[in-house]
Amino acid sequence: MKKRAFLIVLDSFGIGGAVDAKEFGDEGTDTLRTISRSDKFVCPNLEKLGIFNIDGNGYHKASAAPMADYARMHEKSRGKDTIVGHWEIAGVVSNAPMPTFPNGFPREFIERFEKAAGRKTICNLPYSGTKVLEDYGEEHLKTGALIVYTSGDSVFQIAAHESLVPVDELYKICAMARQMLTGDLAVGRVIARPFIGESAKDFKRTANRHDYALLPPQSTVLDELKSAGKDVISVGKINDIFGGQGVTKAHKTKSNADGMRIALELLDEAFDGLCFINLVDFDMLFGHRRNIDGYAQAAAEFDAFLSQFIAKMRDGDMLIITADHGCDPAYLKTTDHTRENVPLLIYPPKASRGENLGTLDGFDNVAKILREELLGG
């Protein structure tokens, strides 16, 4: 019998309460609490599913009859990055943190990279993705030097103007950097960051971002499903995060709206297996930019999509909604991700109404659910 599971990751949609938040410098952060206080937060469907019934979310009225089974999950991996969060969702726990570079990458590596790329570099510091264009974009246009920067995450990012460094050339440079960044330099992701504009006043990143991720160190539930002959359809940056490993078909997206449109279309396809969706705008456009109202509005748009999505689900379909980390837009100490618990909503519930599954240790509980639902154990 064919079964379909739709797993939607709301990128950075944390719900606070991580017992080890202090270890990461994130004590008191709570992305959902922050955005729920905005006038833009209108999310009746998430409320009906039971998001405010989850333990620790007592700041908002709970549903009297939640439509989904619900829980909060604590991350076991030693990080708060997209890669380790998604890997753990797929069943792989990262016991050691991926390397970060708060002072930039070693000079000897940068020199080797410049020689291989055939271009000089500028910046090489942790930076906001928009601020780095303001501060270095014009110098890049004058000199042709690549803008290399990082963040609080394990990333090596390269920004280049599309008129100066064509996107295909930037992709090749990033792929080369991915091969070079090994051992103690093995960052989770190398990210191509193309941009356009005439000056610091109007530079903006385009939708041609591309991530080059480390491959998971062991088999994931995606691999298990693919090996069993199941479909594994990725939407958004899922394919990039897993380096294509375990994916049978990939759909790129340019925005949350694009991802939600594709998700609705996939409901009409007779596939057998998993549709794994990442909606990145929450994190990229609003969390990192500390835009509370923008984040709340994006949540409201997702909520409106939910009513359409649930109405189109077939008998036997499963919907799982979760997140990969937090990015509390009210937290001004940094613009990095925040160490938080994440929600778990499972629709339809096993019983006639949703049940509280409590606090679950590990995002890898999602992988267990998928194995039971799609592989029978």
**Spans of all domains in the chain:** 4-96+216-375, 107-213
Q: For the chain, 377 residues long, give each residue's pLDDT as a single digit of tens.
A: 689 999 999 999 999 999 999 999 999 999 999 999 999 999 999 999 999 999 998 889 999 999 999 999 999 999 999 999 999 999 999 998 899 999 999 999 999 999 999 999 999 999 988 899 999 999 999 999 999 999 988 999 999 999 999 999 999 999 999 999 999 999 999 999 999 999 999 999 998 999 999 999 999 999 999 999 999 999 999 999 999 999 999 999 999 999 999 999 999 999 999 999 999 999 999 999 999 999 999 999 999 999 999 999 999 999 999 999 999 999 999 889 999 999 999 999 988 889 999 999 999 999 999 999 999 86
Q: Which pLDDT does position 153 carry in this prediction?
A: 87
Superfamily of domain 107-213: Phosphopentomutase (3.30.70.1250)
pLDDT of residue 352: 80
Q: What is the CATH number of domain 4-96+216-375?
A: 3.40.720.10
**Residue 1 confidence (pLDDT):** 63
Question: Which pLDDT score is estimated for 164?
Answer: 97
Q: What is the pLDDT of residue 283?
A: 96
Return the structure tokens found at 64. 């009297």
Cα(238)–Cα(277) distance, rounded to whole angstroms? 7
Per-residue pLDDT at 267: 97
DSSP state of 184: G
d(CA 79, CA 222): 21
Exposed/middle/buried for residue 215 (C-beta within 10 Å: 0-12, 13-18, 19+): exposed
Q: Which pTM value belongs to this model?
A: 0.89
The per-residue pLDDT for 335 is 86
Residue 160's SS3 state is strand
Half-sphere exposure of 125 (CA within 13 A, CB side): 9
Of 218, 337, 340, 196, whose CA–CA distance to 280 is shortest? 337
Phi, psi of 31 (to 5 degrees): -60, -45
